[in-house]
Amino acid sequence: MQFDFSYTIWIVLIPFLAFLFTGIFGGKLKPFISGLIGTAGLFISFSLSVITAYRYFFEIEKTSGAFQKIIAHNTVWLKFSENLHVDLGVLLDPISIMMLIVITLISLMVHIYSLGYMKGDAGFSRFFTFLSLFSFSMLGLVVATNIFQMYIFWELVGVSSYLLIGYYYEKPSAVSAAKKAFIVTRFADLGFLIGILLLSYTTGTFDFLTLTDTGGTAILQGSGVPFLGMSTMTWALLLIFMGGAGKSAMFPLHVWLPDAMEGPTPVSALIHAATMVVAGVYLVARLFPLFVFSAPNALEIVGYVGGISSLFAAIIACTQIDIKRILAYSTMSQIGYMMLALGVSGYGGENGLGFMASMFHLFTHAMFKALLFLGAGSIIHAVHSNNFSDMGNLRKFLPVTHITFLIACFAISGIPPFAGFFSKDEILVAAFEHNKILFFIEFAVAGLTAFYMFRLYFNVFWGKETHYHSTPHESPFTMTIPLIFLSIASIGVGFIPFNELVTSDAKPFEILTHWDIAVPSVAMAIVGISTAMLFYKKENSISTVVVSFLGKFYRVALNKFYFDELYLLITKKIVFRFISEPIAVFDKKVIDGAMNGIAAITNFSSEKIKGMQSGQLQHYAFAFVSGAVVIALILLYLIEK
Amino acid sequence: MDFLTCLIIIPILTVFAILFCKNNKQVRLVSAIGMTFQLIQSIHLVIRYLFERRLGNTAEVLFQKDYLWFESLNIHYSIGVDGVAVAMILLTGIVIFCGIFASWNVQYLSREFFISLILLSTGVFGFFISLDLFTMFLFYEIAVIPMYLLIGIWGSGPKEYSAMKLTLMLMGGSALLLVGILGIYFNSAAGGGSLTFNILEISKTHIPLSSQYLFFPLTFIGFGVLGALFPFHTWSPDGHASAPTAVSMLHAGVLMKLGGYGCYKIAIFLLPDAARELGWIFIVLTGISVIYGAFGAVVKKDLKYINAYSSVSHCGLVLFGLLMLNKTAMTGAILQMVSHGLMCALFFGLIGMIYGRTHTRMIDEMGGVMKVLPFLSVAYVICGLASLGLPGLSGFVAEMSILVGAFQHPDFFHRVATIIACASIVVTAVYILRAVGIMLLGPIINKEYLGLKDATWEERLTIITFIIAIAGVGIAPLWLSDMIGSSLQIVIDRF
């Protein structure tokens, strides 16, 4: 059965129209109306996405057992040359449809949640305008038909993120966090851009279908000319991955993500947990055949970057006390898992287990991480603080938040039957089969994850009750409904058979349950949870003893391995002091100086020679005669010769 | 009357009308009416041009007219436009229209101010429609001279110094240019026939290589001075800083484009072999401009200096794109001229408006302006985003065309230069966000700002016109890039 999918363009356009409408008329509307317009728009997009997913996965016929890639829409936007043109369009394939569901679902939840959370805020209407802009950009990114369209929306997503992090623009910390996020990701995007240039130069196309066609020419090219020991294609893909690493906050470009928590909490849930930060994973997945067939080295690097990031972030997360920052590091760690899964994956059938696991984890992670952030928002809403030292024993004040948060903690720790268990298990299996080092890293991280999540959980909901200024109370229903919905999702989505829907070559394959890996990893998580329970459920001094035992290492982790300082050094000291200021001085002294010097010399010499214009005849006659004599002598000399 | 000549006649008539005005109000009203007509005429030109092309008219230039006015040297008043010129005329029409509204409140010698401003624009329009080197040079000088008066009389700060520096440097450039143009003229009969100043005729002949080597650097540097080519850019920061708002707008928006346009239309088009062989020297210089200007802007505190250095960087990219000598990059360069013209003019306009309220241009003396002047601040942010190349606004289209085009160049050298030029996108983000962060965001540090009034109607008109143009180019760039690209084909064919 064939369908016309051209309506899918509206999934992207409706949020854009909402953005334009509320952006232009926002000042004149009642704030709540702006919010409703944005929410309604997202609801339509969500419904359309669900219909599309249903039709795509269950109603259209597969060609030779694989889901087709459908170009639902494509218009030429800008022509560089005959082959290189930027199109704007909609590409439907399993991963883009999965992303459509994730984005519209989480965005819709966040919209509803924000109607309550942001109530009474002066910038309510602006907030929803930016949310619509973000949703539009993110949707445009995932349906991109070519890499340049992706870059376009990539930048738009970056700017929406900038605007939303800096939403509280009167707060200097928010302003500088927004700036940092934008500049760090822009730097990464520089790599992305150069990567695109290299890729288009070697393959002569931007188009994803041509690029990733496993039997096509693009994949075979570029391996010829090596540069610094790696083929052009490897360089191109590594540079493109740099863009992805920046957006996905991978080590060492992660520094912006924790600071980005300055934005309103719903924004952190949407952008910095569920959708935008996984754009890097999506980018690698989108170009996956290229990585596998023409640059396996690059793919290996992707895996290691993912592994290092996930361990690094998990260690830091164990030391922080700001609940949103803990969640931010946890996000970084989980995205590390997804990258790693891609890095250990092959192409086609069971070799593509890592790919499928990565997408699966992206999906489940979006649910429970959004839930965690929205829950954190609910907690912050109740106690007006981000630090868990200001919290304790909140379970009796916030019953709904408590239960839903606990579900999310189980999900992220990988306890069956919650969603995280299934996806994480597949990742571990894939890692075990391809790379033992990465497997053991991830195995350790699984324990750390359980530990830091339950450290957070026990500190907030158990432990000693602190003195609150006003009694904390449960959030309004606009906020609890999304929590409840997402907690149901966090339990249920693990049962979606991703191996039949979203795979590397779009063909279903069989997976076997690996009890030999699942059991130890669950045991590891339980160890993490028990340790956290022992440390933090009741007030005791075990944690302080451990901290003093770890000593220096703890302090280094607490200070995030001094990466912020490193970045400050680069920007303030090197860029400002050693590049920009010398240029300013050079400009002032040398270039300006040269021009002023020329002017001064002109002035000076005219002062000097103006005496010659004396007006006295005898001077002129003398000069004339002596000149004539000199010329005559020269002529004579020349003739003699 | 002739269709293109109207573009010169309208401003001249406006100037005459201003002479008969009785007071300030009449002067600005007459100017506004005149320049509105001029804008309508420019848009009309674009539509007619596209229409003619659609009808299948493939002539090199359209609406061509030719009158002999100086027989012994074979100088003609010869006019005609191609896609590039049409784009430039549209840009000029928009900028001068908005410039009038941005100078709405000039009180001191307003009659003389508006006359100089409009005369300047006459020169610019004349320059873009000319096909005769000599006439073109004449219009060029008409455009440059009033600048001295405008800065020297209505400027601020060290205005005499700045005006003098600017004029002398541009005159220096003109001197080189004149030699270059005469050099081309005296070689224009290489294929037999009489000497000519006509660009189209010269482009049919082949100027001897040795002459090309001599005159290409002269003409390129001559125009390059106006296009802020490193190291001849130093008039720009001081000049912009001292100039009154509308003059900065016109200068950055339009006048600097004469440089880029001249480089393309005269230096590269008429002397293609030298452009190919000597281009690398200037690629190095423009590459330096791009990076140097961007880093220069990072530490500046005065808004006008930030923008002046940013202009050095962006205009460097224009010349960089032109020197790549392929269609994509050159189209991008012309687009960049349009884009930079629009956003830089808007920037200077906004700076003038903000300065008019806060009486300072130092970013660290302001803070939290967003709260009190939301309209101006949002416009500033949009403009900044255009400048740092946000997709959907004009800067992105231009930069990407240049970079993608340049990277398609077969030479390794050009590709490396492109990668270096790419780095400017990060530095641009740094200085734009730095200015926005310090000046517009954060808490209000000066309590007196609480009483400030946001944009007035004429300011809103200026801003909205620009933003529509910037977003228009950014969202639907295909028609413009096609129009420019197809006209560039004859230039490309010469290589």
Q: Are the CB atoms for B179 and B173 separated by under 8 Å?
A: no
What A212-220 contacts at long range (C-beta under 8 Å, 24+ apart), as own/partner pairs, is A212/A286, A212/A287, A212/A288, A212/A289, A212/A290, A213/A289, A214/A289, A214/A293, A214/A347, A214/A505, A218/A290, A219/A289, A219/A290, A219/A293, A219/A294, A220/A294
Q: What distance in Å separates the CA atoms of residue A16 and residue A132, rounded to the nearest whole number? A: 7
Q: Are the CB atoms for A328 and A258 separated by under 8 Å?
A: yes
Minimal Cα–Cα distance from B439 to chain A, Å?
A: 11
Q: Are the CB atoms for B382 and B465 separated by under 8 Å?
A: no
Instruction: Find the mean pLDDT for residues A284-310.
Output: 89
Q: What distance in Å separates the CA atoms of residue B71 and residue B195, rounded to the nearest whole number? A: 11
Of B370, B392, B437, the CB nearest to A176: B437
Minimal Cα–Cα distance from B223 to chain A, Å?
A: 18
A600-613 pLDDT, tens digit per residue, is 888 888 888 877 77
Minimal Cα–Cα distance from B418 to chain A, Å?
A: 9
Q: B177 to each of A102, B138, B163, B234, B357, how far by Cα in Å? A: 61, 12, 21, 19, 41
Q: What is the DSSP string of B226-261?
A: HTT-TTS-THHHHHHHHS-HHHHHHIIIIIHHHHHH
pLDDT averaged over 10-residue windows placed end to end, chain B, 495 residues: 83 89 86 91 91 85 84 85 91 91 84 88 91 89 86 84 86 89 84 79 84 89 87 85 87 89 89 88 91 87 89 91 90 93 92 87 85 89 91 90 89 88 89 89 82 84 92 90 88 82
Q: What distance in Å separates the CA atoms of residue A335 and residue A442, rounded to the nearest whole number? A: 12
Of A159, A178, A575, the CB nearest to B390: A159
For B68, list phi and psi in degrees, rounded to 5. -80, 130
List % helix, strand, coil for chain A (3-state, nearest 5).
Answer: 75, 5, 20
Which secondary structure element, helix H or strand E, spans residue A76, and what is its range?
strand A70-79
A414-452 pLDDT, tens digit per residue, is 888 888 888 888 888 888 888 888 888 888 898 899 999
CA A605 from chain centre, in angstroms, equals: 63
**Do the strands A85-92 and A70-79 form a parallel or antiparallel pair, or are they unpaired?**
antiparallel
Q: Are the CB atoms for A158 and A178 separated by under 8 Å?
A: no
Of A80, A175, A599, the CB nearest to B401: A80
Q: Is B443's CB within 8 Å of A187's CB?
A: no
Closest CA relative to residue A203, chosen from A223, A189, A188? A223
User: Lowest mean pLDDT: which of A172-176, A637-641, B310-314, B316-320?
Assistant: A637-641
Per-residue pLDDT at A223:
54
Total residue length of chain B = 495
Q: Is B234's CB within 8 Å of A595's CB?
A: yes
Instruction: Kindly list the domain boundaries of chain B, sorted by start residue.
Output: 6-492
Please report, for chain B, how many H helices and E strands are present, in that order: 22, 2
Instruction: Find the mean pLDDT for residues A347-357.
Output: 84
Size of interface A-B (CB pairs under 8 A): 129
Encoding tokens for residue A320?
Answer: 């922080």
Per-residue pLDDT at B113:
87
Q: A443 to each of A353, A378, A511, A517, how far by Cα in Å? A: 18, 32, 20, 9
Chain B residues in contact with A194 (beta carbon < 8 A): 419, 422
Residue B302 pairs in a beta bridge with B362
Per-residue pLDDT at A192:
93
Instruction: Find the mean pLDDT for residues A489-499.
Output: 85
With pLDDT > 90 as the criterion, what percentage of chain A qualifies?
23
Mean pLDDT of chain A: 86
Confidence of residue A293 (pLDDT cuts 50, 70, 90): confident
Per-residue pLDDT at B40:
92
Region for residue B325 given its phi and psi (left: phi exceeds 0; alpha: psi -120 to 50; beta: otherwise): left
Closest CA relative to residue B138, chosen from A220, B129, B480? B129
Closest CA relative to residue B428, chosen from B399, B404, B402? B399
Chain A residues in contact with B398 (beta carbon < 8 A): none
Q: Is A179's CB within 8 Å of B485's CB?
A: no
**Do the strands B75-81 and B62-70 form a parallel or antiparallel pair, or are they unpaired?**
antiparallel
For A86, list phi and psi in degrees, rounded to 5. -95, 120
Per-residue pLDDT at A565:
80
Per-residue pLDDT at A621:
84
Encoding tokens for residue B311?
Answer: 């202009």
Q: Is the minimum CB–CB distance between B301 and chain A shorter than 8 Å?
A: no
Closest CA relative to residue B305, chosen from B222, B259, B248? B248
Chain A residues in contact with B425 (beta carbon < 8 A): 186, 189-190, 193
A194-220 pLDDT, tens digit per residue, is 999 988 888 888 888 888 887 777 676
pLDDT beyond 60 at A397: yes
For the complex shown, is ipTM > 0.85? yes
A117-169 pLDDT, tens digit per residue, is 888 888 888 889 999 999 999 999 999 999 999 999 999 999 999 999 989 88
Chain B residues in contact with A171 (beta carbon < 8 A): 442
Minimal Cα–Cα distance from B477 to chain A, Å?
A: 6
Q: What distance in Å separates the CA atoms of residue B13 and residue B118, rounded to the nearest whole number? A: 10
Q: Is A153's CB within 8 Å of B391's CB?
A: yes
Q: What distance in Å separates the CA atoms of residue A137 and residue A135, rounded to the nearest whole number? A: 5
Which of the 8 DSSP states describes residue B130?
Answer: B
Q: What distance in Å separates the CA atoms of residue A78 and residue B366, rounded to the nearest whole number? A: 40
Cis amide bond preceding A252, omega within 30: yes
Residues 6+ apart with CB under 8 A from A362: A98, A102, A278, A281, A282, A338
Which of the 8 DSSP states describes residue B194?
Answer: -
Which of the 8 DSSP states describes residue A322?
Answer: B
Q: Is A79's CB within 8 Å of B231's CB?
A: no
Q: A474 to each of A17, A478, A533, how far by Cα in Å? A: 35, 11, 25
User: For the CA atoms of chain B, what is the radius of gyration?
Assistant: 21
Instruction: Find the mean pLDDT for residues A21-43.
Output: 86
Per-residue pLDDT at A83:
81
A65-116 pLDDT, tens digit per residue, is 778 888 888 888 888 888 888 889 899 888 999 999 999 999 999 999 998 8
Q: Is the minimum CB–CB distance between B472 and chain A shorter than 8 Å?
A: no
For A506, list phi and psi in degrees, rounded to 5. 65, 15
Q: Is A186's CB within 8 Å of B426's CB?
A: yes
B88-101 pLDDT, tens digit per residue, is 999 999 999 998 88
Q: What distance in Å separates the CA atoms of residue A40 and residue B128, rounded to the nearest whole number? A: 50
Q: Is the minimum CB–CB distance between B433 and chain A shorter than 8 Å?
A: yes
Q: What is the DSSP string of A479-512?
A: HHHHHHHHHHHHHHGGGS-HHHHS-TTS------
Q: Is A179's CB within 8 Å of B434's CB?
A: yes
Q: Is A81's CB within 8 Å of B169's CB?
A: no
Closest CA relative to residue B198, chosen from B250, B266, B248? B266
Q: Are the CB atoms for B88 and B261 separated by under 8 Å?
A: yes
Q: What distance in Å separates the CA atoms of residue A501 and residue A499, rounded to the nearest whole number? A: 6
Of A151, A190, A576, the CB nearest to B422: A190
